[in-house]
Amino acid sequence: MKKLSFSLGILSSLFFNIYITAQETPSNADLLKRIEALEAEKNKPKEWDASLYGWVRAEYNFDSRQSAYSREYQLNLYPLDEKLDAAGKDINDAGASNFLAITSRVGIKFKGPDVWGAKASGNIEADFFGNTEVNKTSAGSGSTGLLRLRHATATLTWPTTAVTFGQTWYPSFIPDVFPGVANFNTGILFNPFGWAGQIKVTQKITPELSFSAVAYKDREFQTANATGASPNSATFNSYLPTFHGQLQYRNKFITAGAGAEYQSLKPVIESGGLSSDEKVNSEMFFGYFKYSNEKIITKLYGITGGNLHHLVMIGGFAGYENPNGPESYKPTKTSAFWVDIASANPKIAPGAFFGYTKNSGTDAGFKNLYARGVSGTRILDDVWRASARVDFKQNKFSISPEIEYTAAKWGDLTPEATAGPNIKDVGNFRGMVRVMYSF
């Protein structure tokens, strides 16, 4: 009897456990629902997302002649004029070289929840190029090698309208249409370069055609300093920002556009002990074209205007003496164009670049000249550059040897701020290798 009772107890316990297990084990339908829920959660857009990008970049440069440069010969502009010593030897006919990695870069792209029905995104980017040059008089190193802010933007994007706030490229620098050279100079002198604090509104007219309006203020890249000015004072002394308008067409193979700018700067508020409200007003016009397919990439760009100094181009503005009044100002005119043709091969891609820029001067009668490309009583007439490169690419790693020749024509300064008598042609040959590892 005891054995029977014990057996019944065991059976009851087993049936109870089986019942409970059956209740707890999900059916195939339940499992399918759970899997679908997990997949939906996985595929649900992230409310916040961020990605890191950048590169390690090393450049090995060798120059045949002394040049106007930035950051310890990292960025060469134009070869310097002839400078003869007592024996008649050209002091500037001397080479230079440097190995640098200060253009290594890091950035973060991020996005968040929608704002007023718009997709919200942002970007912060920096490199180690620094903001200031070596101080030769005090043996200081400036800020070369220190972190420098390049871009810091927030963008709201609706279906046909986008608004960008913060610091980013000058609107005349087209990220999709700039020289593909290996040299960090990126076609400087012939193509605008730099970034500025701005607000930009882009409106789509059609899926392929858009119009952008930009208001910006110079910061790191700025106009020349007039007598009595401090760095960038011409920008913040002026109530008005620079106004820019641009029309752009883009499809699968072609990017083309044209634009214009108006800039009004106030170099100083005091001139010769007198209150000054004098301004330097200038206009600028530009156009560009790019064609690309699976085999070739072709780019063209042209620009003309006054006081293009802030775009890292030759020229600037002139100061005129006024009896019993403050100094007044007028811009110098500069024109430039370039062409770049390269292979679109993903492994080995040769390319070639040619650029030309011309100084057309300003009105006669100036007393002071605040411009790039002036050395005492000598001034640049024109500069041209030709280069050839080959990009060897493997995954995120690339090696790009490049040869480059930059020629400059110097002459005596005329009353119109052009190059006159005693023309001297000089040239610099640069051989370099760029090595990059991107992430």
Same domain, 308 and 214: yes
The pair of structure tokens assigned to 430 is 């640069």
Residues 101-136 as b/e (b if ≥16 CB within 10 A, e otherwise) read ebbbbbbeeebeeeeeeeeebbbbbbbbbbeeeeee
Residue 32 has pLDDT above 90, yes or no: no
- C-alpha span between 268 and 161 (Å, rounded): 38
User: Does residue 265 come out as left (phi exceeding 0), alpha (psi in the -120 to 50 range) or beta?
Assistant: beta
Q: In the prediction, which pLDDT does 137 show?
A: 46
**The predicted structure's pLDDT at residue 92:** 97
pTM equals 0.87
Give me the pLDDT at residue 17, please: 52
Say yes or no: 83 and 104 in one domain: yes
My answer on whether 102 and 27 are in the same domain is no
Burial class (CB in 10 A: 0-12, 13-18, 19+), 8: exposed
Averaged pLDDT, 258-273:
96
Q: What contacts 55, CB < 8 A, 6 or more positions away? A: 104, 105, 436, 437, 438, 439
Are 255 and 326 in a shared domain? Answer: yes
Mark whether 34 and 87 lie in a shared domain: no
Percentage of the chain beyond pLDDT 70 is 91
pLDDT in tens, 407-422: 999 999 999 999 999 9
Confidence of residue 134 (pLDDT cuts 50, 70, 90): low
pLDDT of 60 over the 60 cut: yes
Least confident span in 4-18, 123-137, 251-265, 385-399: 4-18
Answer yes or no: do 61 and 76 share one domain.
Answer: yes
Residue 388: is its pLDDT beyond 70?
Answer: yes
> Do 31 and 178 lie in a common domain?
no
Tell me how many degrees the CA angle 76-77-80 measures, rounded to the nearest 5. 100
Question: Is 365 in the same domain as 230?
Answer: yes
Does residue 144 surpass a pLDDT of 80? no
The pLDDT of residue 295 is 97
Whether residue 196 sits in one domain with residue 53: yes
- Is residue 435 predicted with pLDDT exceeding 80? yes
Q: Return d(Cα 145, Cα 141) in angstroms, integer.
A: 9
Q: How many domains does the chain have?
A: 2
**pLDDT tens track for 355-374:** 999 999 999 999 999 999 99
409-419 per-residue burial string, b: 16 or more CB within 10 A, e: under 16? bbbebeeebbb
Q: Are residues 72 and 207 in the same domain?
A: yes
User: Would you state the pLDDT for residue 385?
Assistant: 99
CATH number at residue 72: 2.40.160.10
pLDDT tens-digit map of 201-240: 999 999 999 999 999 999 989 999 998 888 889 999 999 9
Residue 4, domain extent: 1-44
Mean pLDDT of 318-343: 96
One domain, residues 24 and 58: no
Report the pLDDT value the prediction gives residue 311, as an integer from 0 to 100: 97
Question: 303 and 419 share a domain?
Answer: yes
Q: How confident is the model at residue 347 (pLDDT cuts 50, 70, 90)?
A: very high
Query: Mean pLDDT across the chain, nearest whole number?
Result: 91
Token representation of residue 375: 């050395």
Q: What is the pLDDT of residue 133?
A: 66
